[in-house]
């Protein structure tokens, strides 16, 4: 049997949410986690999309995530809040922290929310986009389990700790930087290994700490921080703000989602929300952003470059395209989701884009 490839994003999101509800998650939490996964797929960040449904379910089943946990505020002051996720879903904890940060920034001009006791929270863009809707600037940091060595080291110590920043614009697409602090994702090295290809020097080291172009050796070694000592420093500072400062894990005390089944991850996050209106009227700010973005996009281009993109622009264009034409999933992921559906009495095929729709869409393009 050939499995379907393309899915309607809203139906797929409903399917995911239903799966989580049938696995014992409250509907509002299930909706948040499903929205986080689907948004990643829409924006082309497939590694953080519905492919993660299986691992999230596993972690609920093995009591590594507590979807009934009460998320608590442990400390609060004018401009800072400390949240304990109590091991709820990362996306649910993150969304709660974001809401607090936006609300407080509205009141005080800016606010920091530190989070401990959380789990993998999906993409940073998920939070940043919500802040942009409220005309806020948001910086989000999260630590992660060990994957990269310190400069001079040979084995993983810091995570590829991501940072994301979102800034609204006027007519232009918003600025959305969402990046891991590694040179490339481990996923790219896995792909090279599967194809039997070499990887460029500088992506990774082997298990003895030597630079390598062999993808297999790289997978047994460590991914490298972006920009050498600079990426190492940025990754550490994220670990400090998200982990050391909040009371979450840091370094080896952040557990690996795929490998550690003895205790929760204890991931930490850090949210900084800024109310633009306190600095200048939002309309003025948006005009300034538009000018900045238009000027950068209007720069002369290198040979072979068709367009200069601002961070997040390619993902935003993908989101528009995929909302219209559907999300295409690899057959391995589709098969896994079909199985998951069966386990939870749900039919993934309800989420496919019908042949008829596909033809209708194809006709429009002619």
The reply on whether position 251 binds a copy of itself by CB under 8 A is yes
- Of the pair 7, 203, the CB lying nearest a copy of itself is at 203
List binders of a copy of itself among 71-110 (CB under 8 A).
Answer: 75, 77-80, 82, 105, 107-110
The reply on whether position 250 binds a copy of itself by CB under 8 A is yes
Give the span between the Cα atoms of 204 and 210, in whole angstroms.
9
The reply on whether position 154 binds a copy of itself by CB under 8 A is yes
Q: What is the dihedral of CA 121, 123, 124, 129, to 10 degrees?
A: -120
Q: In terms of DSSP bridges, do strands 110-118 and 80-84 run parallel, antiparallel, or are they unpaired? A: parallel
Contact 82, 96 (CB under 8 A): no
The reply on whether position 127 binds a copy of itself by CB under 8 A is no
The reply on whether position 60 binds a copy of itself by CB under 8 A is no
Give the span between the Cα atoms of 125 and 178, in whole angstroms.
6
Torsions phi, psi for 313 (to 5 deg): -65, -45
- Of the pair 22, 47, the CB lying nearest a copy of itself is at 47
Give the span between the Cα atoms of 96 and 91, in whole angstroms.
9
CA–CA distance from 45 to each of 17, 116, 315 (Å)? 19, 25, 8
Contacts of 326 (CB under 8 A, 6+ apart): 6, 7, 8, 9, 353, 358
- Of the pair 138, 353, the CB lying nearest a copy of itself is at 138
Site string (162-191) toward a copy of itself, x via CB under 8 A: ---x-x-------x-x-x---x--------
List binders of a copy of itself among 300-319 (CB under 8 A).
Answer: 300-303, 305, 307-311
Specify the stretch interacting with a copy of itself by CB under 8 A; choose among 88-96, 119-127, 293-301, 334-342. 293-301
Specify the stretch interacting with a copy of itself by CB under 8 A; choose among 11-19, 31-39, 91-99, 299-307. 299-307
Q: How far is the CB of 193 from a copy of itself (least distance, A)?
A: 22
- Of the pair 26, 308, the CB lying nearest a copy of itself is at 308
Contact 144, 158 (CB under 8 A): no
Q: Could you say which DSSP state residue 209 is in? A: S
**DSSP per residue, 33-47:** HHHHHHHHHHTT-GG
**Token pair belonging to 106:** 């509205």
The reply on whether position 45 binds a copy of itself by CB under 8 A is no
Neighbours of 317 (CB within 10 A): 14
Specify the stretch interacting with a copy of itself by CB under 8 A; choose among 18-26, 84-92, 225-233, 315-323. 225-233
List binders of a copy of itself among 269-288 (CB under 8 A).
Answer: 272, 274-276, 278-280, 285, 288
Indicate the helix (H) or strand (E) that contains 55.
helix 53-61
The reply on whether position 215 binds a copy of itself by CB under 8 A is no
Q: How far is the CB of 292 from a copy of itself (least distance, A)?
A: 6
Q: Out of 46, 66, 170, 233, name the contact with a copy of itself by CB under 8 A.
A: 233
The reply on whether position 210 binds a copy of itself by CB under 8 A is yes
Contact 274, 104 (CB under 8 A): no
Question: Binders of a copy of itself: how many residues, by CB under 8 A?
Answer: 78
**Token pair belonging to 5:** 């490839």
């Amino acid at each position: 049997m050939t499995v379907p490839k393309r899915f309607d994003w809203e139906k797929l999101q409903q399917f995911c949410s239903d799966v989580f509800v049938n696995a014992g998650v409250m509907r509002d939490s299930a909706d948040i986690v499903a929205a986080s996964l689907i948004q990643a797929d829409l924006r082309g960040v497939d590694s953080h999309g519905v492919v993660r449904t299986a691992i999230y379910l596993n972690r609920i089943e093995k009591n590594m995530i507590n979807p009934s946990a009460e998320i608590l505020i442990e400390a609060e002051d004018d401009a800072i809040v400390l949240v304990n996720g109590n091991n709820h879903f990362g996306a649910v904890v993150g969304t709660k922290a974001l809401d607090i940060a936006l609300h407080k920034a509205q009141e005080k001009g800016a606010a920091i929310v530190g989070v401990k006791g959380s789990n993998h929270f999906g993409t940073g863009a998920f939070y940043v986009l919500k802040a942009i809707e409220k005309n806020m600037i948001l910086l989000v940091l999260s630590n992660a389990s060990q994957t990269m060595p310190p400069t001079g080291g040979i084995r993983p110590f810091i995570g590829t700790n991501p940072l994301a920043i979102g800034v609204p614009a006027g007519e232009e697409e918003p600025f959305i930087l969402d990046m891991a602090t590694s040179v490339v994702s481990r996923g790219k090295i896995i792909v090279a290994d599967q194809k039997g290809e070499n990887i460029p020097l500088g992506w990774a080291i082997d298990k003895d700490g030597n630079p390598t172009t062999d993808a297999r050796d790289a997978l047994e070694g460590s991914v490298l921080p972006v920009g050498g000592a600079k990426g190492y420093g940025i990754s550490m500072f994220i670990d400090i703000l998200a982990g050391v400062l909040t009371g979450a894990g840091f370094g080896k005390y952040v557990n690996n989602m795929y490998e550690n089944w003895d205790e929760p991850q204890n991931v930490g996050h850090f949210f900084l929300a800024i109310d633009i209106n306190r600095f200048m009227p939002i309309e003025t700010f948006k005009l300034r952003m538009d000018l900045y973005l238009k000027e950068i996009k209007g720069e002369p281009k290198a040979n072979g470059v068709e367009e200069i993109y601002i961070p997040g622009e390619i993902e935003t264009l993908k989101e528009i395209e995929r909302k219209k034409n559907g999300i295409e999933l690899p057959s391995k992921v589709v098969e896994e989701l079909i199985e998951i559906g069966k386990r939870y009495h749900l039919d993934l095929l309800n989420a496919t884009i019908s042949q008829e729709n596909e033809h209708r869409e194809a006709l429009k393009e002619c």
